[in-house]
Amino acid sequence: MGNCLVAPSLLSADFLHLDEAITMVNRSEADWLHLDIMDGLFVPNISFGFPVLDHVKRCSEKPMDVHLMIVDPDRYIDRFREAGAHVITVHYEACQHLHRTVQAIRQTGAMAGVSLNPHTPAGLLKDILKDLDLVLLMSVNPGFGGQRFIGQTYRKARELKDMILDQESRALIEVDGGVTLENARELLNAGVDVLVAGNTVFSASDPLQMIHLLKHA
Nearest to 18 by CA among 45, 44, 53, 50: 53
Bridge partners (DSSP) of residue 6 are 195
CA-CA distance, 195 to 29, in Å (whole number)? Answer: 13
194 CB neighbour count, 10 Å cutoff: 24
CA-CA distance, 61 to 35, in Å (whole number)? Answer: 14
Among 36, 39, 131, 193, the active-site one is 36
Residue 160, amino acid: L
CA-CA distance, 190 to 74, in Å (whole number)? Answer: 32
Q: Is 36 a catalytic residue?
A: yes
Among 65, 133, 176, 193, the active-site one is 176
CA-CA distance, 166 to 191, in Å (whole number)? Answer: 13
Nearest to 80 by CA among 99, 61, 52, 103: 52
Q: Calculate Rg over the CA atoms of the chain.
A: 16
Q: Is 133 a catalytic residue?
A: no
Q: Are 113 and 86 in contact (CB under 8 A)?
A: no
The residues annotated with a catalytic role in the active site are 36, 176
